[in-house]
Amino acid sequence: MKRKYEQQPKLKLYYFDIKGKGEPIRLLCAYAGIDIEDHRFVTRDEFLAMREGTRLPFSQVPMLEVDGKHSLVQSCAIMRYLGKLGGLYPVDPIQAAKVDALMEQETDTFIGTTVLTYGRRFGIDLTPDVKEKSYEQISDEVLPGHFRNIEKCLRASPTGWLAATDEPSPADFMWYVKLSLMAEKKELSEKIRTLEDFPKLRAFMEKFESLTPIQEYYASKDDHLEVPDSAAGKPWNATLPKTTI
Ligand SMILES: N[C@@H](CCC(=O)N[C@@H](CS)C(=O)NCC(=O)O)C(=O)O
């Protein structure tokens, strides 16, 4: 679409063959017309072998390799870098700080579900009962509280993008992917997964999915996934082809 540099750096993304934290990176590149090699580990052993080496500073992916010599990690940092490359990260420091805040807010919003899903990684081992109760509270109280705040951002945005940027900013890509993954998380209530009480967020999802480069990106994928039955026809993304979750 738009490219800031005539000659862009050579980019290679290392991530698993899932959406997760790799998908906002893939989508931003697709939208901005940034060429990127999307390397998806075929086996977990491939990732483990890489982790043994020196190319993953924090032993985690996504990792974006730039010109074969820089290993960029932490998805927010990668998104800011790509946003700058593609002209989607505001030059104005105040606007940029608003985009940053929305990216950090995405992490804060979903920290509970992340811990429940990957408890061991955090040194937390919860019983099934505690998990069930926690998902209930997250569905009924925690996420609605956060989403009310995001709806306020959207109401105040004349463009429909979270930080009121003219085009989607890195924060929009991250929120879009996280909300679409949430729609498939069966442990959460259907009400929250379908954003029933949050019309502005639903409109945001629809607006994002109607972007031509996003439509084209998914149309070019042949690894479509089924939409969960309970969500069929309801959420914004019911008709959109998906990459593996
Ligand atoms: N805050 C980091 C989190 C990265 C992260 O949690 N990566 C996971 C995959 S989504 C990972 O590398 N896990 C290592 C493993 O599975 O052993 C980011 O946003 O990039």
Asked whether 75 lines ligand 1 (CB < 6 A), one says: yes
Residue identifier of the C-alpha nearest atom 11 of ligand 1: 60
Residue 224 has pLDDT above 80, yes or no: no
Q: What is the pLDDT of residues 58-101, one digit of tens each?
A: 999 999 999 999 999 999 999 999 999 999 999 999 999 999 99
Per 3-state DSSP, the chain is made up of helix, strand and coil in percentages (nearest 5) of 50, 5, 40
**Rounded to the nearest whole angstrom, what is the distance from the C-alpha of residue 47 to the centroid of ligand 1?**
11
Ligand 1, from 15, 28, 61: best to mutate by most atoms within 8 Å of Cβ?
61
Task: Give me 74's structure tokens.
Answer: 């932490």
Asked whether 24 lines ligand 1 (CB < 6 A), one says: no
- Spatial neighbors of 91 by CB under 8 A, at least 6 apart, are none
Q: What is the pLDDT of residues 109-119, one digit of tens each?
A: 999 999 999 99
227 phi/psi in degrees, rounded to 5: -85, 135
Helix (H, G, I), strand (E, B) or coil at 13: strand
Q: What is the CA radius of gyration of the chain?
A: 18
**pLDDT reported for residue 7:** 83
Distance in angstroms (rounded) separating the CA atoms of residues 214 and 32: 10
Q: What's the CATH class of domain 11-86? A: alpha beta
Asked whether 62 lines ligand 1 (CB < 6 A), one says: yes
**Cβ-based burial of 69 (10 A; exposed 0-12, middle 13-18, buried ≥19):** exposed
Mean pLDDT across the chain, nearest whole number?
Answer: 91
Tell whether domain 93-210 is in CATH 3.10.20.740. Answer: no
Angle between helices 93-117 and 75-86 (to 10 degrees): 140
**Rounded to the nearest whole angstrom, what is the distance from the C-alpha of residue 22 to the centroid of ligand 1?**
10
For the chain, which residues make up each domain, given as ranges? 11-86, 93-210
Q: What is the pLDDT of residues 121-137, one digit of tens each?
A: 999 999 999 999 999 99
